[in-house]
Amino acid sequence: MRFFLVSLLLVLLSGCEKAVDFKLDAVAPALVVEATIDVGQSPRVVLSKSLNYFSKITPELLAESFVHNAVIKISNGTSTHILKEYKIQLTGNYSLYFYSTDSSNLATAFVGELGRSYAMTLQHEAKEYKATTSIPVQNKRIDSIWWKARPGDTSEVSVLLKVTDPKGFGNYVRYFTKKNREPFLPGFTSVYDDLVIEGTTYELEVEPGVDRNGTLKGERDFMRGDTVVLQISGIDKPTYDFWRTMEYTYASVGNPFSSPIKVISNISNGALGYFGGYASQYKTIIIPK
């Protein structure tokens, strides 16, 4: 009898199933801003348009997403400089575009300085966007960096770091690693605050940076024979918040149980992305074979 009732219930429930067809509204592309300024470096801005969620990503589509002919002004409080658009030719007849210091007008040009604030105004297609950032004073100190062999393995090694955090909360960092001739890549989780380690000297293992355009497989290991450069950059709170929420979004993609999160941008007028200042310091270690 119980089996009959269960079977009947399953039949009734299956008869109540209904196909759900979601029709998503078309959304106009938004402006995406990646603007940075580092100590001793010129400001650099990459502009693009957001892509449809279901777009099939191709080199052609990415090339078409770059935004041209924008007017970008960056001020350090004393000088205001209008950036110039530059083109980098790649293989396969593709190009990258970015905005930076106008080499034909160096009278108002400047580079990043510790403890200084910056304002950016961006005009494109009759819209104006604004953002501010700062390069914090470089208080966090890298004391030493070393490596050690991993147990039971003759090729993979661990890279460790000793760091001193200054007293006082509010020290935020982002880190990158560079292996041999590879570019600098951010860590899988690249930003950290000092809520737990405030005012202490501590040791930690450094995870290699990852290329999110790749498979991530095999990229998180340091090997004997590698030359490793570590970049640790002091950042302000808005830059930390952007990357904290962005990396949480990366990690939750494809997870049906993750909570939705909004990426926090410091660009006005509905643009995506961020304007961030970096106070970078570097350490190099050569791992023998």
| Per-residue confidence (pLDDT) for residue 220, from 0 to 100 | 67
Residues 6+ apart with CB under 8 A from 275: 33, 35, 36, 118, 120, 131, 132, 133, 266, 267
Count of C-beta atoms within a 10 Å radius of residue 207: 17
| Per-residue confidence (pLDDT) for residue 242, from 0 to 100 | 97
> What would the CATH number be for the domain defined by 141-264+279-286?
2.60.40
| Per-residue confidence (pLDDT) for residue 18, from 0 to 100 | 57
| Per-residue confidence (pLDDT) for residue 222, from 0 to 100 | 93
Are residues 264 and 247 in contact, defined by beta-carbon separation less than 8 angstroms? no
- Which string of DSSP letters, residue by residue, matches the chain? -HHHHHHHHHHHHHHT-------PPP-PPPEEEEEEEEBTS--EEEEEE---TT----HHHHHHHB--S-EEEEE-SS-EEE-EEEEEE-GGG-EEEEEE--TT-GGG---B-TT-EEEEEEEETTEEEEEEEE------EEEEEEEEEPTT-SSEEEEEEEEEPPSSS--EEEEEEEETTSPPEEEEEEEE--TTTTT-EEEEEEPPP--TTS--TT-S-EETT-EEEEEEEEE-HHHHHHHHHHHHHHHHTT-TTSPP-------STT-EEEEEEEEEEEEEEE---
Q: How far apart are CA 100 and CA 46, in angstroms?
A: 9
Residue span(s) of the chain under CATH 2.60.40 come to 31-134, 141-264+279-286
| Per-residue confidence (pLDDT) for residue 52, from 0 to 100 | 73
Per residue of the chain (289 residues), give pLDDT as tens.
444 444 544 444 555 555 555 555 566 889 999 999 999 999 999 999 988 766 677 777 787 889 999 999 999 999 999 999 999 988 777 889 999 999 999 999 999 999 999 999 999 999 999 999 999 997 788 899 999 998 887 799 999 999 998 888 889 999 999 999 999 999 999 999 998 888 899 999 999 999 887 655 545 689 999 999 999 999 999 999 999 999 988 877 655 555 667 899 999 999 999 999 999 999 999 999 8
Question: What's the one-letter identity of residue 285?
Answer: I
pLDDT, tens only, 49-68: 988 766 677 777 787 889 99
pTM comes to: 0.85
| Per-residue confidence (pLDDT) for residue 2, from 0 to 100 | 47
Phi/psi of residue 10, nearest 5 degrees: -65, -40
Is the domain 31-134 a CATH 1.20.1260 member? Answer: no
Distance from first CA to last CA of the chain, Å, rounded? 73
Q: How far apart are CA 229 and CA 238, in angstroms?
A: 26
pLDDT, tens only, 235-272: 999 999 999 999 988 877 655 555 667 899 999 999 99
Give me 225's structure tokens.
């024979």
